[in-house]
Amino acid sequence: MKTWLDQPSKDAPCTIIGEVAQAHDGSLGAAHAYIDAIALAGADAVKFQTHIAEAESTEAEPWRTKFSPQDETRLDYWRRMEFTPEQWAGLKQHAHEKGLLFLSSPFSLQAFDLLDKIGVAGWKVASGEITNFPLLDAMSATGGPLMLSCGMSAYEEIDAAVARLGPVRDHLAVMQCSSIYPTNAEHVGLNLLAEFKECYGCAVGLSDHSATIYPALAAVMAEAQVVEVHVTLSRDMFGPDVIASLTPEELRQTVEGIRFIETMKANPIDKSAPLDQTEPLRQIFLKSVVACSDMCAGTVLTSENITTKKPGTGISANQYDQILGKVLRRDIKADTPLVPEDLET
């Protein structure tokens, strides 16, 4: 299936992204295992984060959550998260073999250069990079699809970033995101998808940290064309994003749910007439006007000698009032559904 990330257009199906981020904890083997799990769940793309520690951070960077006893500083942690260009190329190859689009958010111009050489299906601007105009310029200059996450920004910064990305508006998706881990229902911000669509005239999406399947499903009903969810192989795993992630089984449910919703939306039902598939059921469940007892020709029909019962193969129960006072033209057995030919005109 070609989704928005393959062919950006207003009619394209939603792209479902499984976000690995740092869930691999610096293990190349774990990173490859995530590709397998996300592919098996049926997602369209796998996304990583590409960190080159010395290019993006300093010793002064504080911890968001001090979760790692083996890393003295946040900078030490970013160093441990690095892969070589050859290793990144291997991850991309693996993703392609599994039928996944390959994505990774760069967190520096050096990381962008690395990914640009390897090749990615599109560019995801992390929430913390929305004001990093040199990085935005580099991404937009490639001409590829671009997803702008705005989890920590108010409209002023989003406006400025979208204006900067003006030349790529036809393949830009503005992604609602709440940088709260996990995100509770009150902070998902589903209303912003419609606001972004109206304000910026581009595709919209949701980058979700709720650790539930519900926001992604609701987002598709709200016209999201990109949905990104964090993935963890197990909620017993180690790392800062586990509490904000879906398991592979939950990701599978999300994918199935989104595709089910898209099929529903693409097939509106006309209630001016029953569906052909329901006609046999109508005969089973609807009711007909029937004789309460054996009656002979010439009997006048009253509320004492007719009633309504299943099946719905005779005169419809909604004609009951019109049948009262009519005269039988032939003998009728009890519980026989009446048909027009039974009545004198």
CA dihedral 210, 216, 219, 223 (to 10 degrees): 150
Report the candidate in 189, 107, 104 with the shortest Cα–Cα distance to residue 155: 189
Amino acid at 205: G
Could you tell me if 312 and 282 are in contact, meaning their C-beta atoms sit under 8 angstroms apart? yes
Angstrom distances, CA of residue 252 to CA of 177, 210, 246, 261, 286:
21, 16, 10, 14, 39
Q: How far apart are CA 75 and CA 53, in angstroms?
A: 6
Domain residue limits, the chain: 15-266, 276-342
pLDDT digits (tens, 9 = 90+) for 250-262: 999 999 999 999 9
Please, what CATH class does the domain formed by 276-342 belong to? alpha beta
Q: How far apart are CA 277 and CA 11, in angstroms?
A: 28
pLDDT digits (tens, 9 = 90+) for 63-89: 777 777 888 888 988 999 899 999 999
* pLDDT tens-digit profile, the chain (345 residues): 899 999 999 999 999 999 999 999 999 999 999 999 999 999 999 999 999 999 988 887 887 777 778 888 889 889 998 999 999 999 999 999 999 999 999 999 999 999 999 999 999 999 999 999 999 999 999 999 999 999 999 999 999 999 999 888 899 999 999 999 999 999 999 999 999 999 999 999 999 999 999 999 999 999 999 999 999 999 999 888 899 999 999 999 999 999 999 999 999 999 888 888 888 898 899 999 999 999 999 999 999 999 999 999 999 999 999 999 999 999 999 999 999 999 998
pLDDT digits (tens, 9 = 90+) for 152-176: 999 999 999 999 998 888 999 999 9
Q: What are the start-end ranges of the E strands in 91-221?
A: 101-106, 123-125, 146-149, 172-177, 203-208
| Contacts of residue 333, Cβ cutoff 8 Å, sequence gap at least 6 | 291, 294
Q: How far apart are CA 11 and CA 241, in angstroms?
A: 32
Q: Note the pLDDT of residue 21.
A: 93
| DSSP, res 38 | H
Rg, the chain, Cα only: 30
CATH 1.10.357.10 fits 15-266, yes or no: no
Angstrom distances, CA of residue 113 to CA of 84, 96, 136, 275:
13, 20, 13, 56
Could you tell me if 3 and 15 are in contact, meaning their C-beta atoms sit under 8 angstroms apart? yes
Q: Note the pLDDT of residue 273.
A: 83
Q: How far apart are CA 168 and CA 143, in angstroms?
A: 7
pLDDT digits (tens, 9 = 90+) for 257-277: 999 999 999 999 998 888 888
